[in-house]
Amino acid sequence: MSTPVLELSLKAYTSGDPAARAAFSDDLMRGLKEHGFIILKDHGVSTELLAQAYRLAQQVFEEPDSTKRRFAAGMRGYTPFGVEHAKDSGRPDLKEFWQIGHEPVPGEESSAAFPPNVWPDRPPGFRETFLQLFHRLNDTGIVLLRALAPKLDLPEHYFDPLVERGTSILRVLHYPPLAADVDPLCVRSAQHEDINFLTIMVAAAGAGLELLDRDGTWLPVETEPTNLIVDSGDMLARMTNWTIPATTHRVVNPAGPNVSRYSMPFFMHPTLETSLKVLPACVGEGAKFPEVTAGEYLYERLKAIGMA
């Protein structure tokens, strides 16, 4: 029997007294360990910004395929329908998406860590809206890692320099209505674990997200459109020696009306140079994973899902 999923208020950490902050850290750790995710409210990302982002997402994916493909550029910009697949899956996911990262600092040359973002010609306001959303979610992720750090015997700001200018990605996803001739074994997003530290998902426009609870139960995850859903990824699992396991999740095909689904996960990554060596407090009887850098691990995983 699954226990109730935790719904936490970020204000308890950002504006609370020491006891409230400690309780938030305890609950965040417990939620990630016991379920793999928590629901986050009072996070400071405005309702207006989220609504505007969804309006623009719908508009950009309504463009003709030939127009969208002009903006296909690897890890930034547009990725066409059917390109990505889950690790160890031979069938493509039924989705297309747009990816946004940190903008290069003025005067800084683009690099593997910070290739230039690719922006569509229209709709108006796409660049400004999604850069703002990127930064608000990045700020939220930094606060969550600060809250988590003491539970790993780390200073509160330990993760700050690792993620403030990490290779994080905001992915704007569109799952189109299922075609009549779709392969019945294909799903919108096959079960997988994310590569990164934390994933912060804007509550989607449309049902379908399911997370595998730690007891082996698939839980449909739906919440108010103003809330965020936070889950743990592979890089954090490696650093914590699976103290915080990576969260398995999927997006199932629609059981009701065959309509589009939109979602906006923010994948919080560290810098490419960050070591994923097991943290001292988590070694226990021995490290389960060899030491690699985040860049080495990222490239390995991108190859496995058809993105490198």
pLDDT at 228: 94
Q: Find out whether 295 and 162 touch, Cβ atoms under 8 Å.
A: no
Structure tokens, 273 = 């140079």
Q: What is the per-residue pLDDT for 89?
A: 67
Sign of CA dihedral 196, 202, 207, 211: positive
The residue extents of the domains of the chain are 7-102+110-304
- C-alpha to C-alpha distance for 56 and 59, rounded to whole angstroms: 5
Q: Give me the residues paired with residue 230 across strands.
A: 38, 200
CA pair distance 133, 35, nearest whole angstrom: 26
pLDDT of the residue at 24: 98
CA distances 2 to 72, 192, 209, 224, 273, Å, are 42, 21, 17, 21, 38
- Quote the pLDDT of residue 4: 65
DSSP 127-184: HHHHHHHHHHHHHHHHHHHHHHGGGGT--TTTTHHHHTTS--EEEEEEEPPPPTT--T
CB 152 within 8 A of CB 281: yes
Percent of the chain at pLDDT > 90 equals 66
DSSP letter string, 219-259: EE----TT-EEEEE-HHHHHHTTTSSPPPEEEEPPPSSS--
Which pLDDT belongs to residue 110?
63
pLDDT of residue 2: 46
Query: What pLDDT score was predicted for residue 204?
Result: 73
- Is residue 238 within 8 A of residue 256, CB to CB? The reply is no
Q: Which CATH class is domain 7-102+110-304?
A: mainly beta
pTM, 2 dp:
0.93
Residue spans of the chain under pLDDT 50: 1-2
Strand partners, 267: 169, 199
Q: Between vectors from CA 59 to CA 57 and to CA 64, what angle results, nearest 5°?
A: 115
User: What pLDDT score was predicted for residue 241?
Assistant: 97
Q: Whole-angstrom Cα distance, residue 19 to residue 8?
A: 15
pLDDT digits (tens, 9 = 90+) for 203-225: 777 778 888 887 888 888 888 88
Determine the Cα–Cα distance for residues 100 and 112; give it in Å rounded to an integer. 14
Report the pLDDT value the prediction gives residue 112, as an integer from 0 to 100: 67
